[in-house]
A = this chain, B = another copy of it.
Amino acid sequence: MRNNIKIERARHNLTQADLAEKIGVSRQSINAIEKGKYVPSTVLALKMARLFKMSVEDLFTLEIDD
C-alpha cells in the first residue's frame, strides 16, 4: 500500500510531529506509516483523510501485492 501523507503534509505545512499530535499518535508512527513501514489502522486513516479534507482512497491506495 502506498500513501500521499508526505505530500499532504507539505501542502498543509505540517511537520511529522504536528501531524502526529493532531491525530494522536507518536511522531515515529507517522514516520513509519509515511515510509510504508507499516499499515495504519482504519481509525488513523480516517482521521488523516479528514484532516486533509480528502478521501481515504485518495490518501492511501492499494497495490497489486496487497
Spell out A's residues near B (CB within 8 Å).
Answer: 1, 39-47, 49-50, 55-57, 60-62, 66
Please measure, in the bound complex, the distance between the C-alpha atom of A49 and the C-alpha atom of B52, giving whole angstroms. Answer: 20
Q: Is the CB of B39 within 8 A of A62?
A: no
Query: What is the oligomeric copy number?
Result: 2
Between A40, A41, A42, the greatest number of chain B beta carbons within 10 A of the residue's beta carbon is seen for A42
Residues in B whose Cβ lies below 8 Å from that of A46: 1, 56-57, 60-62, 66
Residues in B whose Cβ lies below 8 Å from that of A60: 42, 46
Residues in B whose Cβ lies below 8 Å from that of A50: 62
Residues in B whose Cβ lies below 8 Å from that of A57: 46, 49, 55-56
Please measure, in the bound complex, the distance between the C-alpha atom of A10 and the C-alpha atom of B27, giving whole angstroms. Answer: 40
